[in-house]
Amino acid sequence: MAYADGELAPDERAEFEQLLATREDLRRAVARERELDLVARSAAGPEPMDAEWAALGQDFAHRSGLGVGLALVLGGIALGLGSLLYLLWSASLPLAASVAVTALMLGGCVLLLRALRARVRTRRYDPYREVRR
C-alpha cells in the first residue's frame, strides 16, 4: 500500500489520512502493512542461541512458569491490598486516615484501569509489538 510505504504525495497523503480517521478497516489494513514492512526490515540470519530460545518457548515448564509466577505475584498483590483495606476499616483508626488510604488505593486502581483500557483500544493498531530485536 502506497500510504504505508510513504509513497503518496503530500496532498494525496492528507486526503487519505482524512479517510483513515473515519474508517477502522483502513486503519487495520495500514497497521498490517506496516507489520509486514517491519518484519521484512528485521530479516536477519538466526543467531546460535535462537534455536535454544525457540526450544525453551516450546517447553511446558518454561512457558507455564511465567503464567504461574505472574498469577501468584498479581494474586499476592491483590490479596495484600484487600487485607490492608480490611485491617484499615476494622481497626479503630481516625476516619480521615482510613478514607485517605482507601481513596489512594482506589485512585491507583482507576488510573491503572484507565491505562489498561487505552492500551487495549490502541494495541491492534500498534505494529511495533511484533519487532523482536
Partner 1 sequence: MIVVTTDTVPGRHIVATIGLVRGSSVRAAHAGDDVTAYFKNLVGGEVEEYTKLLAESREQALDRMLAEAAARGANAVVGVRFVTCEIAGGCAEMLTYGTAVKLG
The residues that touch partner 1, with contacts defined as CB under 8 A, are 6-10, 13, 34, 38, 41-42, 53, 66, 69-70, 73, 128-129, 131-133
CB of 29 to partner 1, least distance (A): 16
Q: Which is nearer to partner 1, 86 or 125 (CB)?
A: 125
Q: Which is nearer to partner 1, 54 or 87 (CB)?
A: 54
- Give just the sign of the alpha carbon dihedral 48, 133, 119, 110: positive
DSSP for 56-98 reads HHH-HHHHHHHHHHHHHHHHHHHHHHHHHHHHHHHS---HHHH
Q: How far apart are CA 27 and CA 126, in angstroms?
A: 10
CB of 131 to partner 1, least distance (A): 5
Instruction: Mark 58-69 as b/e (b = at least 16 C-beta within 10 Å).
Output: eeeeeeeeeeee
Q: Which is nearer to partner 1, 12 or 24 (CB)?
A: 12
Q: Which of 8, 2, 4 is nearest to 37 (CA)?
A: 4
CB of 128 to partner 1, least distance (A): 4
CB of 59 to partner 1, least distance (A): 15
Q: Which is nearer to partner 1, 69 or 108 (CB)?
A: 69
- Cell numbers of 3, please? 500510504
